[in-house]
């Protein structure tokens, strides 16, 4: 189960989101051919990946940022960029371009630091933009909990696209990360669950002030009217205009 698009149109071109996607793709293409050789791959990771052990000793602190733009495979970067493409445009519109870029980078750093705290002496390298993108998803959940998200549901040989509210899709995603983090030894390779958790929580925390400034619950109610979501209580029911949605 993974998202393929949301039904939450924006009013401006998300240049920063596109630039981040481009930067990740360019960075990946610049080093992916080296990953086929064990010696070359080791050097690439040593130079740019984030090693908790090194961060604990105050070394390679720049890797908290460079590791965000590295990926281990085509599937790895494709999945991450899909999530960024779906959820990044709305967050960029709400934050503004410069603040959104800082928000994205800060989410990635927070994600890496929680992974370090989970196992400060781990020598397993961490790469990928998923921690920063988790921050985008956490902020999206706070701002647009009822936005409709189309997800592809795969049941063995049956493929079906269903539409669910963002709070359900993102809530389930976070629950999976939390269960994975609690159930997986931190000294093993694979998914950096604690980085995902750290980025998601940091993203929500950094979006809290923006959500309050936009009116808090009133901002949600405005989104409901824009997206044609009927209010839950009869006394709240008013005529909801129909809007055209861009997919």
At 35, the pLDDT band (50, 70, 90 cuts) reads low
- Cα 147 to Cα 10: distance, rounded to the nearest angstrom: 12
CB atoms within 10 A of CB 120: 13
Residue with tokens 């481009």: 22
At 150, the pLDDT band (50, 70, 90 cuts) reads very high
Q: Tell whether the model's pLDDT for residue 148 goes beyond 80.
A: yes
H or E element, residue 114 = helix 97-118
pLDDT value of position 239: 41
Q: Which residues pair with 163 in a beta bridge?
A: 150
pLDDT value of position 244: 39
- Extract the tokens encoding 200: 């998601």
Q: Where are the domains of the chain?
A: 2-226
Whether 196 contacts 131, CB under 8 Å: yes
The proportion of the chain whose per-residue pLDDT surpasses 90, expressed as a percent, equals 68
pLDDT digits (tens, 9 = 90+) for 121-139: 999 889 999 999 999 999 9
Q: Tell whether the model's pLDDT for residue 30 goes beyond 90.
A: no
- Cα 142 to Cα 220: distance, rounded to the nearest angstrom: 9
pLDDT digits (tens, 9 = 90+) for 183-207: 877 666 678 999 999 999 999 999 9
pLDDT value of position 234: 38
- Extract the tokens encoding 194: 């604690």
Which has more confidence, 230 or 234? 230
The CATH architecture of the domain made up of 2-226 is Up-down Bundle (1.20)
Whether 227 contacts 243, CB under 8 Å: yes
Q: Tell whether the model's pLDDT for residue 246 goes beyond 60.
A: no
Give pairs for 26-34: CB < 8 Å, separation 24+.
27/69, 27/70, 28/69, 28/70, 28/71, 28/77, 31/70, 32/71, 32/74
Mean pLDDT of the chain: 87
At 2, the pLDDT band (50, 70, 90 cuts) reads confident
Which has more confidence, 106 or 2? 106
- Cα 169 to Cα 67: distance, rounded to the nearest angstrom: 27
In the three-class reduction of DSSP (H, G, I as helix; E, B as strand; rest coil), residue 158 is classed as: strand
Question: What pTM, to 2 d.p., does this model score?
Answer: 0.87
- Cα 134 to Cα 180: distance, rounded to the nearest angstrom: 15
Residue 209 burial by CB count (10 A; 0-12/13-18/19+): exposed, middle or buried? exposed
H or E element, residue 155 = strand 148-155
pLDDT value of position 66: 95
pLDDT digits (tens, 9 = 90+) for 81-121: 999 999 999 999 999 999 999 999 999 999 999 999 999 99
The proportion of the chain whose per-residue pLDDT surpasses 70, expressed as a percent, equals 85
């Amino acid at each position: 189960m993974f998202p393929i698009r949301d039904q939450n149109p924006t009013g401006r071109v998300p240049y920063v989101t596109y630039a981040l996607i481009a930067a990740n793709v360019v960075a990946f293409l610049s080093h992916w051919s080296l990953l086929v050789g064990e010696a070359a791959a080791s050097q690439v990771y040593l130079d740019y990946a984030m090693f908790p052990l090194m961060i604990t000793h105050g070394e390679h602190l720049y890797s908290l940022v460079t590791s965000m733009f590295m990926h281990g495979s085509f599937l790895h970067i494709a999945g991450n960029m899909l999530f960024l493409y779906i959820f990044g445009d709305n967050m960029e519109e709400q934050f503004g371009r410069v603040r959104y870029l800082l928000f994205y980078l800060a989410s990635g750093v927070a994600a890496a630091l929680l992974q370090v705290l989970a196992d400060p002496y781990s020598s397993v390298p961490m790469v990928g933009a998923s921690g920063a993108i988790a921050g985008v998803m956490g902020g999206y959940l706070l701002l647009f909990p009822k936005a409709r998200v189309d997800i592809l549901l795969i049941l063995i040989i049956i493929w079906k696209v269903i539409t669910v509210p963002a709070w359900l899709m993102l809530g389930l995603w976070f629950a999976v990360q939390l269960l994975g983090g609690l159930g997986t030894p931190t000294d093993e390779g694979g998914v950096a669950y604690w980085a995902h958790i750290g980025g998601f929580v940091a993203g929500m925390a950094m979006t809290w002030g923006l959500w309050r400034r936009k009116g808090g619950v009133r901002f949600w109610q405005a989104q409901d009217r824009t997206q044609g979501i009927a209010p839950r209580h009869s006394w709240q029911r008013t005529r909801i205009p129909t809007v055209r949605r861009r997919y």
